[in-house]
Chains A and B, each alone.
Chain A
Amino acid sequence: MTSLAVKSLWARKVRALTTTLAVVIGVAFVAGTYILTDTTFAAFDEIFEDSLAKTSVVIGARDEVEQESGEVPSFGAAVLHRVKRVQGVRAAAGIINTPGGFFDSRGKPIGSRFAPKLIGSNRPPALESITYIEGHKPRDASQASIDEGAAEEAGLELGDTIRLASVERAKSFRLVGIVRLGDASFGGASIAGLTLSEAQRITGKEGEFDQIWVAALDGVSGAELKRRVERVAPPGLLVETAEQNAERNSNQIRDNLGFLRIALLVFAFVALLVGAFLIFNTFSITVAQRVSEFGMLRTLGAGRGQILTSVVVEALLVGLIGALLGLACGFAIAKGLNALFVAVGIDLPTTSLVLKTRTVVVALAIGIGVTLVSSFVPALRSTRVPPIAALQALEVPRSRRRGIAYAALASLLSVAGLAMVLVGLFGGANSGAAAGLMGGGTVAVILGVSLFSPRLVRPLASLAGLPLQRLRGLTGRLARENTQRNPSRTAVTATALMIGLALVAFVTVFAAGIKGSIATAVDDSFQGELVLRNSNGFSPISPGAAAAAREAPGVEIVSTLRATQAKLLGGDGGKPRVSALDRDAGSVLTIDWTEGGPETLRNFADREVILDKSFADGNGFELGDRVRFLTQIGRRPSLRVVGEFEDKADLLGSAVVTHGVMARQFDQRDDLLDFVKLAPGASIDAVQARLTRVIDRDFPTAEVMNQEELKQSQEDQVNQLLGLIYALLALAILVSLFGIANTLALSIHERTREIGMLRAIGMSRRQVRTMVRYEAVITALIGAILGMVLGVVFAALIAQPLKDDGFTLSYPVVTLIMLLVFAAVAGVVAAIGPARRASRLDVLDALHYE
């Protein structure tokens, strides 16, 4: 029976290939995700370890509230000479390692948009971990070094000019060194080196260090030296061994980028789910086509178990081969995913690709598991073939009871799934559980709809086939009839496509909503004509930018917003965002006050705080209450609530404090946004142009945007994310197109004689091709219609709880219609192979075909 499985697979090579391909793509996606993320983590680990190669102990400021931005506080330099005197210290040096911006002599940014550009300081030779592959270390305040990757990318050579920007005005340096650190590539990140004093000056950290690195004398262990250093370090500082520091950094990266792995796995799961549909369909069809073969085997004395075994072994083989191939393709997918990220500006560090045992195990388990599970029902069905089937071309028996059971199960799944989604949305569970509920619910709904969809095939095929029939007469008509012949087959094929398109429709509708909401929020809350912000959209900018803007003619008010994350003492451990506003912010921002008003802000005092209404309500704060935060540098300001606001644009976060408190207690000294209000009569364009010139020269990490540009840039970001999601869904859609091609090929195989007859009575090759193509188009359109309905309904549901946050759904009708057209075209593409084969059938052979 095993050899029968092998032979039967071999006899149907093409079908086996497409089925295997479904497994391959899903598994490759999973494997690729693990390979890519493992590689990225390994690259970070290498970088962390390499940079501390000669360091035994690292001293840094205690980071009480880890920031999503990754910024860490600096500390006073005075402690260094005490550390130097500790017994067992070979060398100790304070270093600067602060994000900034790098530009070439024409002002063009170096490195990719979202990756960090770090300004570092020279380390003494006893601690230095970078090697100068060209030139030497910077010797005075006019010299700089840069890493080899960035130099190559920007085409920089020794003697060239580079501009570095941070808190102080941007300055030109002469490139005197090109450096390398270990073997890992930084991706889009880059490091520039300056003398220590110049690095401190340009980052605004004169008399401060980001870290102190300590090298131990021979025979003194890192742990021992750490204990000795701890004795002289003030309590605000954290002393770690180099290993501890590297491990903490490594864990932090894993925490921060963990979502990436999960997000990619979700898309991989979608591709696998679609693949499962394809496998289920292929096995169902082949079992149906082999009914008389099974019947014959039964008459020869084969038991049910043997029949089952032969089908299961076939599935096992497909799964195993698919998983192995998928694993191999995982490397290509890892590269592809990385390229995709690079394309949207997320250029992560890389090193040689990492394949962990876990990846192999997961890939094999998933490949084989998915195949076995999805071929299980068809395999069971094969055992119900009675011996008599050998004599008659019997359909596999399917009782009416089963039909009712299916319908009941379909309704149950859909309703339960919908309920899960709703509970996930409104039930107030924590975000992990809510995501789980919504994910599980979505899958249940998809399964429910797919079970129910055979009943929808007739009407939907008629709907989708109508224009074709009108336009193309007989071929359209026959195509439609063919899709309706075996509704469950068409349904499974269509629902596989439905899954991908539902997600596309969902994100499309949702993204349209986000874009619309952003535009509304900008219109509603920004009164200022111009805004200054970091060109990457999220990092802070130098306060110098605001100061420069204040000087510019035509500018009346520049009001700044700073932000940081803090912990609410007695809170749930979350890290609410705290902002600081100027007292004149009322003239550049429209704040929707629920308690207090513009005068609250005008009279805003350092011991006061204004809360976001939902934050206040959620934590039971009322006017006059005291709110205590733990800040990043470990301060615990206690602030009195003097006002509440509603913040649909989520511009201000959970709480607003004065700039004084923000600087002293929260240690945030850089601006997130500067709002610029022009003097009456000033021309926006003229002021913007003037301001841009100044900013580009002195604070090039910032950019000056008018309201339209701000909206546009937010929209661009949404679009970019949307593009990324489309690209990730493309694989799932690709699998479902294989599904269409496969089903079509199998159906045509069944109808070989019929096609021979049609040809004999005068149907041309072209007509046969058209007929097959339309069949695919109709199937694809059924999937698209189901998917769009599902996607739009889900988007509408999920938009409900977001209504309060100012999220309004808008339906991008044109995009949705384009999606339909896309589905139709995809159907045509999927039909290319089967249509060609059908049209090339030799009439005589086809007529003789058994």
Chain B
Amino acid sequence: MSSADGQVVRAAGVSRRYGEGEAAVDALVGISTEFERGRFTAIMGPSGSGKSTLLHILAGLDQPTSGTVVLDGEEITGLDDGELTKLRRDKLGFVFQFFNLLPVLTAEENLVLPLSIAGRKPDREWLEQLIRTVGLDDRRTHRPSELSGGQQQRVAIARAMVSKPAVVFADEPTGNLDSKASADVLRLLRQAVDEFGQTVIMVTHDPAGAAHADRLITLRDGGLVHDAVPGSTDEVIELMKQID
């Protein structure tokens, strides 16, 4: 697509300050980094280190105090609400920790919700493939309240991918799940990257989750302190101990 070097997201000197004067908090201080297309990146760091803030800014949900973010060749810092809405429809997918699904819609309706909102017709073949991949073939007409947490989260992941966005952002998608369900969700994200070439950026506290990623970046006090291939779960645990 537009960026020939395969970068899909680029942050340049991104800072975010909350509040003013004495009480001001610098959640991010001059972060510059790039994310390659078709890769799975995990973001870790101690609580309050700025992970969510970074993710929100990369996804255009929040605006940096200074610095720029370019997403799929388009600078998103400074877009108005209408442009951001269009961006979300076309280029972004989200998976949150909880409250992902609309309780009044069925699993399948939730899955195609981004398309319905945008007034688009789903590509039937792609849809079937997604449903099969997330393993909810027999749960299509169930309402979220009739699904387990893991199933709900898998629907959410499928939903994030349904419009074939440039990037899927996930903020602690396994934060609310037990280890078995977490593993399923992580495997699914991995699969999305491997099979469909989906770019995924995920904030997580779970070393096992990070170990699924191609790349792990670590934040502390709003700064980038580590950026490498994650290695095994144990190596990630070791790394986090050092950083803390």
- Give me the interface of A with B, judged by CB distance under 8 Å: 473-474, 478, 481-482, 484-485, 753-754, 757-765, 767, 843-844, 847
Contact = CB atoms under 8 A, between A and B. Distances in A.
B102 A763 contact: no
A478 B105 CA distance: 8
A844 B96 contact: no
Interface size class, chain B: 20 to 34
Interface string B24-65: 000000000000000000000000000000001000011000
A762 B62 contact: no
A847 B104 contact: no
19 contacts: A473-B116, A473-B119, A478-B102, A478-B104, A481-B104, A484-B104, A485-B103, A754-B102, A757-B102, A758-B113, A761-B94, A762-B85, A762-B88, A762-B92, A763-B85, A765-B81, A844-B56, A844-B61, A847-B61
Contacts of B118: 762
B85 A761 contact: no
Interface centre among A481, A485, A843 (most CB of B within 10 A): A843
Contacts of A473: 116, 119
B114 A761 contact: yes
B82 interface: yes
B104 A757 contact: no
Nearest to B59: A760
Nearest to A760: B94
Given A474-B116, A481-B104, A844-B56, A762 B89 contact: yes
Contacts of A757: 94, 96, 99-100, 102
Contacts of A478: 102, 104-105
Contacts of A760: 61, 88, 94, 96
Interface centre among A759, A762, A764 (most CB of B within 10 A): A762
Given A760-B88, A763-B85, A764-B82, A754 B117 contact: no
B159 interface: yes
A473 to B, nearest CB: 7
Interface of B: 56, 61-62, 81-82, 85, 88-89, 92-94, 96, 99-100, 102-105, 113-114, 116-119, 159-160, 163
Contacts of B114: 761-762
Nearest to B103: A485
Contacts of B102: 478, 754, 757-758
Given A473-B116, A761-B159, 19 more contacts: A478-B105, A485-B103, A485-B104, A753-B99, A757-B94, A757-B96, A757-B102, A760-B96, A761-B93, A761-B94, A761-B113, A761-B160, A762-B85, A762-B88, A762-B92, A762-B117, A765-B85, A844-B56, A847-B61
B104 A482 contact: yes
A474 B104 CA distance: 12
A482 B102 CA distance: 10
Nearest to A843: B61
Contact of B105 (A481, A753, A844): A481
Contacts of A844: 56, 61-62
Contacts of B62: 844
The 5 A-B pairs at the shortest CB distance, nearest first, are namely A481-B104, A762-B89, A474-B116, A762-B88, A764-B85
B92 to A, nearest CB: 8
Nearest to B61: A844
Contact of B117 (A484, A753, A763, A843): A763
Nearest to A844: B61
Contacts of A481: 104-105
Nearest to A485: B104
A753 B117 CA distance: 17
B166 to A, nearest CB: 13
A842 to B, nearest CB: 9
Contacts of A843: 61
Nearest to B119: A473
Contacts of A767: 117
Nearest to B53: A844
A765 B62 CA distance: 16
B76 to A, nearest CB: 14
Contacts of B105: 478, 481
Nearest to B101: A757
A484 to B, nearest CB: 8
